[in-house]
Amino acid sequence: MMHQTEMLATIEAGLQPGNSRPKKIVIVGAGMAGLVAGDLLKRAGHKITILEAQHRVGGRIYTVRDGLAPGLRAEMGAMRIPQSHELTMAYVRRFRLKTEPFIVTNPNAYIYLQGKRVRRKEFDPQKFVFDVHPHESGKHPEDLLKATFKPIYDRVLEQGEAVWDQIIAEYDHFSLRGFLRHSGWSEGAIEMLGILGNVESRMNSSFVSYLHHEYSNTFSNMVYLVDGSDALPNAFLPILGKHIRLGASLEAIDNAANQVTVTYQTLAGQFQETADYLIVTIPFSLMRHIEVTPAFSPRKRRAIRQLNYDSSSKIFMQCSSRFWENDDGIHGGGSVTDLAIRNVFYPQHGQETGRGALLASYTWGRDAICFASLPRDYLIRQAIENLREIHPQIDRTFEVAVYHHWGNDPYAGGVGALLEPGTMSSFNDIVAPEGRVYFAGDHCSKFKTRWIQGAIESAIHAAQDVHAAR
Protein backbone atom coordinates (compact mmCIF):
# COMPACT_ATOMS: atom_id res chain seq x y z
CA MET A 1 0.00 0.00 0.00
CA MET A 2 1.28 3.47 -0.90
CA HIS A 3 1.83 6.08 1.78
CA GLN A 4 0.15 9.46 1.43
CA THR A 5 3.34 11.14 0.21
CA GLU A 6 3.55 8.56 -2.59
CA MET A 7 -0.10 9.11 -3.49
CA LEU A 8 0.39 12.87 -3.61
CA ALA A 9 3.36 12.35 -5.91
CA THR A 10 1.21 10.09 -8.10
CA ILE A 11 -1.48 12.78 -8.41
CA GLU A 12 1.15 15.28 -9.51
CA ALA A 13 3.45 13.16 -11.71
CA GLY A 14 1.25 10.21 -12.67
CA LEU A 15 1.79 6.47 -12.32
CA GLN A 16 5.37 5.24 -12.39
CA PRO A 17 6.36 4.08 -15.92
CA GLY A 18 7.80 0.67 -14.95
CA ASN A 19 7.43 -2.11 -17.51
CA SER A 20 3.67 -1.80 -17.88
CA ARG A 21 2.32 -2.43 -21.37
CA PRO A 22 -0.65 -0.41 -22.68
CA LYS A 23 -3.90 -2.05 -21.61
CA LYS A 24 -7.58 -1.69 -22.35
CA ILE A 25 -9.42 -0.95 -19.13
CA VAL A 26 -13.12 -0.54 -18.39
CA ILE A 27 -14.11 1.45 -15.32
CA VAL A 28 -17.64 1.20 -13.93
CA GLY A 29 -18.82 4.38 -12.25
CA ALA A 30 -17.94 8.03 -12.88
CA GLY A 31 -17.90 9.12 -9.27
CA MET A 32 -14.66 10.44 -7.85
CA ALA A 33 -13.05 6.99 -7.70
CA GLY A 34 -13.81 6.25 -11.35
CA LEU A 35 -12.70 9.69 -12.50
CA VAL A 36 -9.42 9.59 -10.59
CA ALA A 37 -8.61 6.04 -11.74
CA GLY A 38 -9.51 6.96 -15.33
CA ASP A 39 -7.36 10.08 -15.27
CA LEU A 40 -4.31 8.26 -13.90
CA LEU A 41 -4.58 5.34 -16.30
CA LYS A 42 -5.17 7.58 -19.31
CA ARG A 43 -2.14 9.66 -18.41
CA ALA A 44 -0.13 6.42 -18.22
CA GLY A 45 -1.04 5.56 -21.82
CA HIS A 46 -3.81 3.03 -21.29
CA LYS A 47 -7.05 2.94 -23.27
CA ILE A 48 -9.97 3.55 -20.93
CA THR A 49 -13.75 3.44 -21.09
CA ILE A 50 -15.85 4.69 -18.17
CA LEU A 51 -19.45 3.48 -17.90
CA GLU A 52 -21.80 5.62 -15.84
CA ALA A 53 -25.46 4.78 -15.29
CA GLN A 54 -26.52 8.36 -14.59
CA HIS A 55 -26.55 11.32 -16.96
CA ARG A 56 -23.98 13.17 -14.88
CA VAL A 57 -20.62 12.49 -13.25
CA GLY A 58 -19.80 12.83 -9.56
CA GLY A 59 -21.78 10.06 -7.88
CA ARG A 60 -22.57 11.21 -4.36
CA ILE A 61 -21.21 14.64 -5.13
CA TYR A 62 -24.62 15.93 -6.14
CA THR A 63 -25.27 19.65 -6.45
CA VAL A 64 -28.89 20.59 -7.18
CA ARG A 65 -29.73 23.94 -8.77
CA ASP A 66 -32.97 23.13 -10.58
CA GLY A 67 -36.01 24.26 -8.64
CA LEU A 68 -34.12 26.98 -6.77
CA ALA A 69 -33.67 30.67 -7.53
CA PRO A 70 -30.61 31.67 -9.59
CA GLY A 71 -27.49 31.83 -7.44
CA LEU A 72 -28.71 29.22 -4.95
CA ARG A 73 -27.88 25.52 -4.77
CA ALA A 74 -28.46 22.50 -2.58
CA GLU A 75 -25.53 20.19 -1.83
CA MET A 76 -27.37 16.91 -1.48
CA GLY A 77 -24.13 14.98 -1.11
CA ALA A 78 -20.63 16.17 -0.25
CA MET A 79 -20.76 19.77 0.95
CA ARG A 80 -17.41 20.29 2.70
CA ILE A 81 -13.79 19.21 2.43
CA PRO A 82 -11.45 18.79 5.41
CA GLN A 83 -8.16 20.50 4.62
CA SER A 84 -6.45 17.56 6.34
CA HIS A 85 -7.65 15.44 3.38
CA GLU A 86 -4.55 16.21 1.36
CA LEU A 87 -5.41 14.03 -1.65
CA THR A 88 -8.70 15.85 -2.16
CA MET A 89 -7.07 19.21 -1.71
CA ALA A 90 -4.39 18.23 -4.25
CA TYR A 91 -7.09 17.87 -6.90
CA VAL A 92 -8.72 21.13 -5.77
CA ARG A 93 -5.38 22.85 -6.34
CA ARG A 94 -4.72 21.02 -9.61
CA PHE A 95 -7.97 22.30 -11.09
CA ARG A 96 -7.59 25.71 -9.45
CA LEU A 97 -10.98 25.54 -7.79
CA LYS A 98 -11.95 28.41 -5.52
CA THR A 99 -12.56 27.61 -1.86
CA GLU A 100 -13.84 29.43 1.20
CA PRO A 101 -13.70 28.35 4.86
CA PHE A 102 -16.65 26.15 5.83
CA ILE A 103 -17.92 27.13 9.27
CA VAL A 104 -18.67 23.88 11.12
CA THR A 105 -19.75 25.14 14.53
CA ASN A 106 -21.15 28.53 15.43
CA PRO A 107 -21.71 29.67 19.03
CA ASN A 108 -24.73 31.69 17.89
CA ALA A 109 -26.48 28.64 16.43
CA TYR A 110 -29.03 26.77 18.52
CA ILE A 111 -29.43 23.58 20.50
CA TYR A 112 -33.07 22.53 20.76
CA LEU A 113 -33.66 19.80 23.34
CA GLN A 114 -36.59 18.70 25.45
CA GLY A 115 -38.71 21.61 24.22
CA LYS A 116 -36.11 24.26 25.09
CA ARG A 117 -34.08 26.39 22.68
CA VAL A 118 -30.70 27.80 23.72
CA ARG A 119 -27.71 29.21 21.90
CA ARG A 120 -24.81 26.79 21.61
CA LYS A 121 -22.64 29.16 23.63
CA GLU A 122 -25.20 29.11 26.45
CA PHE A 123 -25.74 25.34 26.62
CA ASP A 124 -25.61 23.98 30.18
CA PRO A 125 -26.18 20.20 30.50
CA GLN A 126 -27.47 20.66 34.04
CA LYS A 127 -30.49 22.57 32.75
CA PHE A 128 -31.67 19.49 30.85
CA VAL A 129 -32.89 16.12 32.08
CA PHE A 130 -30.32 13.39 31.38
CA ASP A 131 -29.95 10.30 33.57
CA VAL A 132 -26.19 10.60 34.11
CA HIS A 133 -23.79 9.31 36.76
CA PRO A 134 -22.77 11.79 39.47
CA HIS A 135 -19.26 12.22 38.03
CA GLU A 136 -20.77 13.03 34.60
CA SER A 137 -23.11 15.72 35.90
CA GLY A 138 -22.61 19.12 34.28
CA LYS A 139 -20.03 17.84 31.81
CA HIS A 140 -20.33 18.27 28.06
CA PRO A 141 -20.18 14.96 26.14
CA GLU A 142 -17.18 16.22 24.15
CA ASP A 143 -15.18 16.48 27.39
CA LEU A 144 -16.28 13.02 28.48
CA LEU A 145 -15.29 11.66 25.08
CA LYS A 146 -11.81 13.18 25.19
CA ALA A 147 -11.17 11.73 28.64
CA THR A 148 -12.38 8.29 27.57
CA PHE A 149 -10.36 8.21 24.35
CA LYS A 150 -7.17 9.76 25.77
CA PRO A 151 -5.41 6.47 26.68
CA ILE A 152 -5.85 5.21 23.11
CA TYR A 153 -4.81 8.54 21.59
CA ASP A 154 -1.67 8.45 23.75
CA ARG A 155 -0.79 5.03 22.34
CA VAL A 156 -0.95 6.41 18.80
CA LEU A 157 1.18 9.42 19.73
CA GLU A 158 3.76 7.22 21.43
CA GLN A 159 3.86 4.29 18.98
CA GLY A 160 2.90 5.88 15.67
CA GLU A 161 0.20 5.19 13.08
CA ALA A 162 1.18 1.50 12.80
CA VAL A 163 -0.44 0.89 16.18
CA TRP A 164 -3.87 1.20 14.56
CA ASP A 165 -3.59 -2.47 13.50
CA GLN A 166 -3.32 -3.42 17.19
CA ILE A 167 -6.19 -1.11 18.10
CA ILE A 168 -8.36 -2.75 15.45
CA ALA A 169 -7.48 -6.20 16.79
CA GLU A 170 -8.38 -5.17 20.34
CA TYR A 171 -11.50 -3.09 19.77
CA ASP A 172 -13.07 -4.03 16.44
CA HIS A 173 -15.73 -6.14 18.14
CA PHE A 174 -17.16 -3.03 19.83
CA SER A 175 -19.90 -0.80 18.54
CA LEU A 176 -19.71 2.83 19.64
CA ARG A 177 -22.51 2.26 22.16
CA GLY A 178 -20.90 -0.99 23.33
CA PHE A 179 -17.55 0.68 23.98
CA LEU A 180 -19.09 3.61 25.82
CA ARG A 181 -21.08 1.23 28.04
CA HIS A 182 -17.92 -0.84 28.57
CA SER A 183 -16.16 2.38 29.62
CA GLY A 184 -18.80 3.16 32.23
CA TRP A 185 -20.88 5.77 30.45
CA SER A 186 -24.46 6.25 31.61
CA GLU A 187 -27.36 6.02 29.19
CA GLY A 188 -27.96 9.73 29.74
CA ALA A 189 -24.41 10.64 28.69
CA ILE A 190 -24.68 8.38 25.65
CA GLU A 191 -27.99 10.02 24.74
CA MET A 192 -26.49 13.49 25.08
CA LEU A 193 -23.51 12.56 22.88
CA GLY A 194 -25.84 11.00 20.34
CA ILE A 195 -27.93 14.15 19.97
CA LEU A 196 -25.23 16.81 20.20
CA GLY A 197 -22.72 14.80 18.19
CA ASN A 198 -25.22 13.71 15.52
CA VAL A 199 -24.49 10.00 16.10
CA GLU A 200 -27.61 8.79 17.88
CA SER A 201 -28.76 6.81 14.84
CA ARG A 202 -25.26 5.37 14.35
CA MET A 203 -24.49 4.15 17.87
CA ASN A 204 -24.37 0.53 16.70
CA SER A 205 -21.71 1.20 14.06
CA SER A 206 -17.97 0.45 14.34
CA PHE A 207 -16.32 1.98 17.38
CA VAL A 208 -12.85 1.94 15.79
CA SER A 209 -14.12 3.78 12.71
CA TYR A 210 -15.63 6.47 14.93
CA LEU A 211 -12.51 6.58 17.10
CA HIS A 212 -10.20 7.17 14.14
CA HIS A 213 -12.54 9.85 12.83
CA GLU A 214 -12.39 11.67 16.16
CA TYR A 215 -8.63 11.22 16.45
CA SER A 216 -8.13 12.76 13.01
CA ASN A 217 -10.12 15.83 14.11
CA THR A 218 -11.70 15.83 10.68
CA PHE A 219 -14.09 18.72 11.24
CA SER A 220 -11.56 21.18 12.66
CA ASN A 221 -10.53 22.96 9.45
CA MET A 222 -12.82 22.66 6.44
CA VAL A 223 -13.55 24.43 3.17
CA TYR A 224 -16.31 24.42 0.57
CA LEU A 225 -16.07 24.95 -3.18
CA VAL A 226 -17.30 28.40 -4.13
CA ASP A 227 -18.78 27.22 -7.44
CA GLY A 228 -20.43 24.15 -5.91
CA SER A 229 -19.15 20.72 -4.95
CA ASP A 230 -19.84 19.43 -8.47
CA ALA A 231 -17.06 21.72 -9.73
CA LEU A 232 -14.61 19.01 -8.66
CA PRO A 233 -15.93 16.04 -10.69
CA ASN A 234 -16.89 18.34 -13.58
CA ALA A 235 -13.27 19.49 -13.78
CA PHE A 236 -12.36 16.02 -15.09
CA LEU A 237 -14.71 16.32 -18.08
CA PRO A 238 -12.32 18.17 -20.43
CA ILE A 239 -9.83 15.34 -19.81
CA LEU A 240 -12.11 12.32 -19.74
CA GLY A 241 -15.36 13.41 -21.39
CA LYS A 242 -14.95 11.47 -24.64
CA HIS A 243 -14.07 8.31 -22.68
CA ILE A 244 -17.25 8.37 -20.56
CA ARG A 245 -20.45 6.59 -21.65
CA LEU A 246 -23.34 8.13 -19.71
CA GLY A 247 -26.64 6.36 -19.25
CA ALA A 248 -24.85 2.98 -19.29
CA SER A 249 -25.92 0.69 -16.46
CA LEU A 250 -23.83 -2.38 -15.60
CA GLU A 251 -25.72 -5.66 -15.97
CA ALA A 252 -23.16 -8.47 -15.90
CA ILE A 253 -19.44 -9.29 -15.66
CA ASP A 254 -17.72 -12.21 -17.42
CA ASN A 255 -14.40 -12.54 -15.58
CA ALA A 256 -12.44 -14.89 -17.88
CA ALA A 257 -8.82 -15.96 -17.46
CA ASN A 258 -7.40 -13.74 -20.22
CA GLN A 259 -9.99 -10.93 -20.48
CA VAL A 260 -13.03 -9.43 -18.82
CA THR A 261 -16.31 -8.57 -20.55
CA VAL A 262 -19.00 -6.31 -19.16
CA THR A 263 -22.58 -6.20 -20.33
CA TYR A 264 -24.34 -2.87 -19.89
CA GLN A 265 -27.76 -1.48 -20.67
CA THR A 266 -28.78 1.84 -22.21
CA LEU A 267 -32.16 2.97 -23.50
CA ALA A 268 -30.88 2.02 -26.95
CA GLY A 269 -30.34 -1.59 -25.93
CA GLN A 270 -27.81 -3.96 -24.41
CA PHE A 271 -24.11 -3.76 -25.26
CA GLN A 272 -20.82 -5.38 -24.31
CA GLU A 273 -17.29 -4.11 -23.79
CA THR A 274 -14.26 -6.39 -23.51
CA ALA A 275 -11.04 -5.28 -21.83
CA ASP A 276 -7.87 -6.53 -20.21
CA TYR A 277 -8.99 -5.35 -16.78
CA LEU A 278 -12.05 -3.94 -15.04
CA ILE A 279 -12.23 -1.50 -12.13
CA VAL A 280 -15.59 -1.48 -10.35
CA THR A 281 -16.27 1.64 -8.29
CA ILE A 282 -20.02 1.34 -7.71
CA PRO A 283 -21.23 0.68 -4.14
CA PHE A 284 -21.50 -2.93 -2.97
CA SER A 285 -25.18 -2.24 -2.29
CA LEU A 286 -25.55 -2.20 -6.10
CA MET A 287 -22.98 -4.92 -6.82
CA ARG A 288 -25.30 -7.40 -5.10
CA HIS A 289 -27.56 -7.24 -8.18
CA ILE A 290 -24.84 -7.76 -10.82
CA GLU A 291 -24.48 -11.17 -12.48
CA VAL A 292 -20.86 -12.36 -12.30
CA THR A 293 -19.45 -15.35 -14.23
CA PRO A 294 -17.66 -17.25 -12.84
CA ALA A 295 -18.87 -16.24 -9.42
CA PHE A 296 -16.56 -14.25 -7.17
CA SER A 297 -14.89 -16.10 -4.30
CA PRO A 298 -17.02 -16.88 -1.24
CA ARG A 299 -15.12 -14.26 0.79
CA LYS A 300 -15.80 -11.54 -1.78
CA ARG A 301 -19.46 -12.51 -2.10
CA ARG A 302 -19.80 -12.34 1.67
CA ALA A 303 -18.13 -8.90 1.76
CA ILE A 304 -20.50 -7.62 -0.93
CA ARG A 305 -23.55 -8.99 0.90
CA GLN A 306 -22.59 -7.87 4.37
CA LEU A 307 -21.09 -4.41 3.88
CA ASN A 308 -23.55 -2.10 5.58
CA TYR A 309 -24.81 1.06 3.85
CA ASP A 310 -26.36 3.93 5.77
CA SER A 311 -29.32 6.09 4.82
CA SER A 312 -29.26 9.86 4.78
CA SER A 313 -31.59 12.60 3.63
CA LYS A 314 -31.47 16.36 3.20
CA ILE A 315 -34.25 18.91 2.88
CA PHE A 316 -33.28 22.34 1.60
CA MET A 317 -35.74 25.21 1.92
CA GLN A 318 -35.45 28.32 -0.22
CA CYS A 319 -36.33 31.35 1.85
CA SER A 320 -37.11 34.87 0.65
CA SER A 321 -34.65 36.32 3.17
CA ARG A 322 -31.62 35.09 5.10
CA PHE A 323 -33.38 35.55 8.43
CA TRP A 324 -30.87 33.37 10.31
CA GLU A 325 -28.21 35.94 9.47
CA ASN A 326 -30.32 39.10 9.63
CA ASP A 327 -32.35 38.25 12.76
CA ASP A 328 -30.34 35.62 14.64
CA GLY A 329 -26.79 36.64 13.75
CA ILE A 330 -25.93 33.12 12.57
CA HIS A 331 -23.39 33.10 9.76
CA GLY A 332 -22.55 29.50 8.92
CA GLY A 333 -22.45 26.49 11.23
CA GLY A 334 -25.40 24.42 12.30
CA SER A 335 -28.05 23.84 14.95
CA VAL A 336 -28.83 20.45 16.51
CA THR A 337 -32.18 19.19 17.76
CA ASP A 338 -33.96 16.15 19.11
CA LEU A 339 -36.77 16.81 16.60
CA ALA A 340 -37.42 14.77 13.47
CA ILE A 341 -35.41 17.22 11.33
CA ARG A 342 -32.39 16.60 13.59
CA ASN A 343 -29.78 19.01 12.15
CA VAL A 344 -30.02 22.42 10.52
CA PHE A 345 -27.14 23.98 8.56
CA TYR A 346 -26.73 27.54 7.34
CA PRO A 347 -25.05 27.54 3.89
CA GLN A 348 -22.75 30.47 3.36
CA HIS A 349 -23.17 30.90 -0.41
CA GLY A 350 -25.82 32.99 -2.14
CA GLN A 351 -25.63 36.08 0.05
CA GLU A 352 -25.61 38.29 -3.03
CA THR A 353 -29.10 37.04 -3.95
CA GLY A 354 -30.74 38.16 -0.72
CA ARG A 355 -32.37 34.73 -0.57
CA GLY A 356 -31.02 31.61 1.07
CA ALA A 357 -31.15 27.85 0.64
CA LEU A 358 -31.37 26.67 4.24
CA LEU A 359 -30.45 23.04 4.95
CA ALA A 360 -33.52 22.64 7.10
CA SER A 361 -33.10 18.93 7.83
CA TYR A 362 -30.07 16.65 7.68
CA THR A 363 -30.81 13.15 8.93
CA TRP A 364 -29.03 9.80 9.06
CA GLY A 365 -29.92 6.18 9.65
CA ARG A 366 -33.26 5.50 11.27
CA ASP A 367 -34.13 9.19 11.23
CA ALA A 368 -33.69 9.34 7.45
CA ILE A 369 -35.63 6.11 6.93
CA CYS A 370 -38.56 7.42 8.97
CA PHE A 371 -38.65 10.59 6.90
CA ALA A 372 -38.43 8.67 3.63
CA SER A 373 -41.58 6.73 4.47
CA LEU A 374 -43.67 9.91 4.38
CA PRO A 375 -45.35 11.45 1.32
CA ARG A 376 -43.19 14.30 0.08
CA ASP A 377 -45.61 17.17 0.77
CA TYR A 378 -46.38 15.84 4.26
CA LEU A 379 -42.65 15.49 4.91
CA ILE A 380 -42.01 19.12 3.94
CA ARG A 381 -44.89 20.32 6.11
CA GLN A 382 -43.55 18.38 9.09
CA ALA A 383 -40.07 19.76 8.51
CA ILE A 384 -41.48 23.30 8.49
CA GLU A 385 -43.39 22.53 11.68
CA ASN A 386 -40.18 21.34 13.36
CA LEU A 387 -38.12 24.23 12.05
CA ARG A 388 -40.68 26.70 13.38
CA GLU A 389 -39.62 25.71 16.92
CA ILE A 390 -36.15 27.10 16.22
CA HIS A 391 -36.83 29.71 13.55
CA PRO A 392 -40.44 30.99 13.58
CA GLN A 393 -39.50 33.23 10.64
CA ILE A 394 -39.83 30.21 8.34
CA ASP A 395 -43.61 30.77 8.05
CA ARG A 396 -43.27 34.14 6.33
CA THR A 397 -40.12 33.38 4.30
CA PHE A 398 -40.55 29.82 3.00
CA GLU A 399 -40.81 29.58 -0.80
CA VAL A 400 -39.90 26.11 -2.14
CA ALA A 401 -38.16 22.95 -0.96
CA VAL A 402 -35.91 20.34 -2.59
CA TYR A 403 -35.32 16.92 -1.04
CA HIS A 404 -33.13 13.88 -1.59
CA HIS A 405 -33.02 10.56 0.24
CA TRP A 406 -29.94 8.49 -0.55
CA GLY A 407 -31.52 5.26 0.63
CA ASN A 408 -34.00 5.53 -2.25
CA ASP A 409 -31.39 6.55 -4.82
CA PRO A 410 -31.19 3.72 -7.40
CA TYR A 411 -27.63 4.71 -8.33
CA ALA A 412 -26.28 4.77 -4.77
CA GLY A 413 -28.20 2.35 -2.56
CA GLY A 414 -27.37 4.49 0.47
CA VAL A 415 -25.25 7.49 1.37
CA GLY A 416 -22.16 5.35 1.92
CA ALA A 417 -20.69 2.40 3.76
CA LEU A 418 -21.18 2.58 7.53
CA LEU A 419 -18.81 0.01 8.98
CA GLU A 420 -20.19 -2.35 11.60
CA PRO A 421 -18.27 -4.03 14.44
CA GLY A 422 -15.91 -6.63 13.00
CA THR A 423 -15.77 -5.16 9.49
CA MET A 424 -12.30 -3.68 9.82
CA SER A 425 -10.79 -7.04 10.79
CA SER A 426 -11.88 -8.48 7.45
CA PHE A 427 -11.36 -5.33 5.37
CA ASN A 428 -9.04 -7.10 2.90
CA ASP A 429 -12.06 -9.07 1.66
CA ILE A 430 -13.62 -5.78 0.53
CA VAL A 431 -10.63 -4.45 -1.41
CA ALA A 432 -9.04 -7.67 -2.74
CA PRO A 433 -9.22 -8.09 -6.55
CA GLU A 434 -11.01 -11.02 -8.15
CA GLY A 435 -9.08 -12.20 -11.20
CA ARG A 436 -9.11 -9.31 -13.64
CA VAL A 437 -11.64 -7.32 -11.62
CA TYR A 438 -10.38 -4.63 -9.23
CA PHE A 439 -12.38 -2.51 -6.79
CA ALA A 440 -12.33 1.14 -5.75
CA GLY A 441 -14.64 3.64 -4.10
CA ASP A 442 -14.77 5.19 -0.64
CA HIS A 443 -15.98 1.84 0.72
CA CYS A 444 -12.53 0.49 -0.18
CA SER A 445 -10.81 2.94 2.18
CA LYS A 446 -10.54 1.64 5.73
CA PHE A 447 -10.57 4.98 7.53
CA LYS A 448 -12.15 7.37 4.99
CA THR A 449 -15.45 5.74 4.07
CA ARG A 450 -18.11 8.28 2.99
CA TRP A 451 -15.44 10.91 2.16
CA ILE A 452 -14.07 12.08 -1.20
CA GLN A 453 -10.62 11.37 0.23
CA GLY A 454 -11.48 7.67 0.58
CA ALA A 455 -12.64 7.47 -3.03
CA ILE A 456 -9.42 9.10 -4.27
CA GLU A 457 -7.18 6.96 -2.07
CA SER A 458 -8.79 3.71 -3.26
CA ALA A 459 -8.69 4.83 -6.90
CA ILE A 460 -4.96 5.52 -6.77
CA HIS A 461 -4.30 2.06 -5.34
CA ALA A 462 -6.54 0.34 -7.91
CA ALA A 463 -5.04 2.29 -10.81
CA GLN A 464 -1.52 1.47 -9.64
CA ASP A 465 -2.34 -2.25 -9.33
CA VAL A 466 -3.91 -2.44 -12.78
CA HIS A 467 -1.08 -0.40 -14.28
CA ALA A 468 1.50 -2.80 -12.81
CA ALA A 469 -0.42 -5.98 -13.72
CA ARG A 470 1.14 -8.15 -16.48
Catalytic residues: 213, 314
Task: Report how far residue 444's alpha carbon sits from residue 430's, in angstroms, rounded to the nearest whole number.
Answer: 6
**Cα atoms in the 13 Å half-sphere on the side-chain side of 386:** 26
CA distance 322 to 358: 8
Q: Please, is 454 exposed, middle or buried when counting C-beta atoms within 10 Å of its C-beta (0-12, 13-18, 19+)?
A: buried
Tell me the C-alpha distance between 165 and 228, whole Å.
37
Query: In whole angstroms, what is the distance from residue 56 CA to residue 241 CA?
Result: 11
Name residue 218's amino acid. T
Three-state SS for 58? coil
**Around 333, how many Cα atoms within 13 Å sit in the side-chain half-sphere?**
18
> How many CA within 13 A on the CB side of residue 237?
12
What's the rounded Cα separation, in Å, for the pair 405 and 84? Answer: 28
Strands of the sheet containing 99-102, edge to edge, are 81-82, 222-225, 99-102
State residue 18 phi and psi, 5-degree precision.
55, -150
Reference 347, options 66, 129, 79; nearest CA is 79
The three-class DSSP label of residue 203 is: coil
Give ∠ CA 85-111-336 in degrees, rounded to 5. 45
340: nearest Cα among 367, 379, 301, 369: 367
CA-atom Rg of the chain in angstroms? 23
Buried b / exposed e along 105-119 (16+ C-beta atoms within 10 A)? ebebbbbbbeeeeeb
